[in-house]
Amino acid sequence: MGTYDLKIREHCVSDTLSDGETHERCPGSNQVVVIDIDVRRWQAAQDRLLRDAMPQENRRAARQYYKPIQAPAAPVSHIRAQVTLETARQSYLAHRKGCSGCVGGQHCRDGGVLARRFVIALRQEPAEREARERQERQERRVARALAEQWLAGRQRQWVKYGGPVVEAAKTAVPSVSRALSPNSAALSCP
């Protein structure tokens, strides 16, 4: 009592027996089973087997999630962007060329908006040009000041690290290079 002999049960080679046939036992029947695996490894193997045996459609999500469709782009006349004279002119002329409602001096709703934008850009262009020129002059002044500071810094470095030491190094280098040149007598083979 208390001990079990784990064995593979007896089974036949064939499931069906015809009349008059003898029971033919499988050679793998009645073998002793040795259990030499710990519970965690057995559970991991079982989980893998169950996962592999599961049909593919059950492992996937039931629904597919599609990316949302983007809203159509707003018409050019509704876009609030920085308007330059050239972009306003090009968008107005492109609209006039393709629109059947913009004929002669008449405009459709979008054509009227684009025409007003072009007129406003025409009026603001001189002031914007002057502001750009002022900005460029200021940037040139700052760049010139930075260049002068850099030059003064380099001059201070030259005074600190230059002078007689650098001049002595300059004169010493050619004599060393002459001694190491291939035509030198010191390196020639006998």
What CA–CA distances, in Å, run from 113 to 75, 83, 94, 109, 125?
A: 11, 13, 13, 7, 18
pLDDT at residue number 7: 84
Up-side HSE of residue 33: CA atoms within 13 Å toward CB? 10
pLDDT at residue number 190: 45
Name the H helices within the chain.
39-53, 56-59, 85-98, 109-161, 164-179
Query: What confidence tens digit (pLDDT) does each residue in 125-138 have?
Result: 888 889 989 999 99
Sorted by sequence, the CB contacts under 8 Å of residue 2 that are 6+ apart come out as none
Give the chain's residues under pLDDT 50: 1, 176, 186-190
The dihedral over CA atoms of 36, 39, 43, 46, expressed in degrees to the nearest 10, equals 30
pLDDT at residue number 187: 47
